Amino acid sequence: MEASARSFISYPEDSDFPIQNLPYGVFYRNSDATKKPTIGVAIGDQVLDLAVIAQAGLFDGPAIKDHAINVFAQGTLNGFMALGKAAWSEARKTIARLLSADEARLRDDADLRAAALVAQSDVTMLLPANIGDYTDFYSSREHATNVGIMFRGKDNALQPNWLHLPVGYHGRSSSIMPSGTPVRRPLGQTKGPDDAAPSFTPCRLLDFELEMGLFVGPGNALGDRVPIDDAENHMFGVVLLNDWSARDIQAWEYVPLGPFTAKNFISTISPWVVTLEALEPFRVQSPKQDEPKPLPYLQDENSKAGYDIQLEVALKSPKASAPQVISRSNFKYMYWTMKQQLVHHTVTGCNLRPGDLLGSGTISGPTPDSYGSLLEITWRGSKPLTLETGEERKFLLDGDSLTLSGYCQGEGYRVGFGPCVGTILPHN
């Protein structure tokens, strides 16, 4: 979409949701006693109800017209995700045209506008999809190196397999929650290095992880692999993801099978799914992978497989009057790309399904102010973070609120994700 495109809906230049974005989400109107979920698109501070637009017969493209009433009346995006790129593109073109400053159909129809547009302040956002499966990767070279140095030393920072494949683990989809859901401090088994035996305690080393999550579109059949040049046909859109982590629980339990309860208590995502089509102008060169080269199935002829998404993490303690930015990073730093993650996930013939979520792994940059976790920012607690209130943080305390945010900067507009927020509550 042209940078000069404008909507009849007014919004400031730094709005996350200009007409160049048009992210999808699921919401219910606060005035609706039944809390019926429906699908919408964010535009400025408004939501366009796509069920109303579909009922009005305004989705008329050949790939979407026979499906619009059904998929946009559902309470999740799974059905729309399954339709594929042709339908997504047609829907986006129709929505952009209807919201354009030059198009009278919605702009000048007062009744349709009143039915289809609702203020974001008058809705409650829900999870955008029924997330059947969730896989989290470990794809930032900077993050993996930092963690390796902390626990194994500089000479053995990266594990032998790390530069050859996107490392990942299967997480828990049932505890993925939308922005604003409180984060209850978990309890679990911990064992310090000098303890004779483990104990059952509240987590003392509660951390955030700055990530992004990819929603899968059309799936693949069991036994079929997705080749690298077909991967984007299976990629619907992206959200912010906070993979909350209980570091002390993780340290005791992760051998030999990796994280378990240290990461299954909650993960938070932003509710608006930004499509790859909206991110297309912000493609950038991904990091070189030539020492060693990946195996052929992971080699991508399109070197611009990264995305220039500026990311921030802000922490607000109970004593603070406003959040304080504690990290500024960028999605372009990721060594393994979303395409490579999806391809490797299916290399054995594993079947992905619409609405599956693939977490990027912690996004850390090359400098301490771009690290994507407190584990790194405080270097395992050895360098406490001093807040503007004078307080110190090694890890998160009860009452702390974390906000992830991100956007791509265009010429006179930005494509943003909205906030991804969680506040720490005491353990039960």
pLDDT one-digit tens code per residue, 121-165: 999 999 999 999 999 999 999 999 999 999 999 999 999 999 999
Residue 90 sits in the same domain as residue 222: no
For residue 37, is pLDDT > 90? yes
Buried b (16+ CB within 10 A) or exposed e, 220-244: beeeebbebeebbebbbbbbbbbbb
Residue with tokens 């991804």: 420
Residues 200 and 54 in one domain: no
Tell whether 277 and 359 lie within a shared domain: yes
Place 263 in a pLDDT band, splitting at 50, 70 and 90: very high
pLDDT for 3 equals 87
- Chain position carrying tokens 């940078």: 3
| Contact yes or no for 96/22 (Cβ under 8 A) | yes
Q: Are 423 and 401 in contact (CB under 8 A)?
A: yes
Q: Are residues 265 and 118 in the same domain?
A: no
Percent of the chain surpassing pLDDT 90: 97
Annotated binding residues for Ca(2+), written as ranges, equal 136, 209, 211, 243
pLDDT band, very low/low/confident/very high, at 29 (cuts 50, 70, 90):
very high
Percent of the chain with pLDDT strictly greater than 70: 100
**Residue 302: pLDDT band with limits 50, 70, 90:** confident
78/197 same-domain check: no
| Binding site feature residues | 136, 138, 152, 209, 211, 243, 250, 254, 263, 267, 362
**Total tally of structural domains belonging to the chain:** 2
Q: Is the pLDDT of residue 258 over 90?
A: no
Using CA atoms, how far apart are residues 79 and 68, in angstroms rounded to an integer? Answer: 10
Helix then strand then coil, in percent of the chain rounded to 5, is: 25, 25, 50
Q: Of 60, 93, 126, which residue sits at a domain end?
A: 126
| pLDDT band (50, 70, 90) for residue 118 | very high
> Which of 275, 269, 272 lies closest to 235 in space, CA to CA?
275
Mean pLDDT of 208-213: 98
* Over residues 248-277, mean pLDDT: 95
Asked if residue 149 and residue 52 are part of one domain, the reply reads no
Q: Tell which of 93, 126, 159 closes a domain.
A: 126
Clarify whether residues 253 and 287 are in a common domain. Answer: yes
- Same-domain check for residues 139 and 53: no
How far apart, in Å, are the Cα atoms of 132 and each of 70, 117, 238, 266? 20, 30, 16, 15
* Alpha-carbon separation of residue 128 from 90, 143, 220, 273, 403 (angstroms): 20, 28, 21, 7, 19
**Residue 297 forms beta bridges with which residues?**
none
Q: What is the mean pLDDT of residues 193-198?
A: 94
pLDDT averaged over every residue in the chain: 97
Are 295 and 323 part of one and the same domain? Answer: yes
Annotated catalytic residue within 143, 234, 344, 345: 143
Mind listing the pLDDT tens digit for each residue in 367-378?
999 999 999 999
pLDDT at 303: 84
Mean pLDDT to the nearest integer, 102-125: 98
Please confirm, yes or no, whether 67 is among the known catalytic residues: no
Pairing of β 401-409 and β 420-425: antiparallel
Domain that holds residue 121: 24-126
pLDDT of residue 188: 97
Q: What residue numbers does the annotated binding site for substrate cover?
A: 138, 152, 250, 254, 362
pLDDT band at 104 (very low <50, low <70, confident <90, very high): very high
Q: Are residues 95 and 111 in the same domain?
A: yes
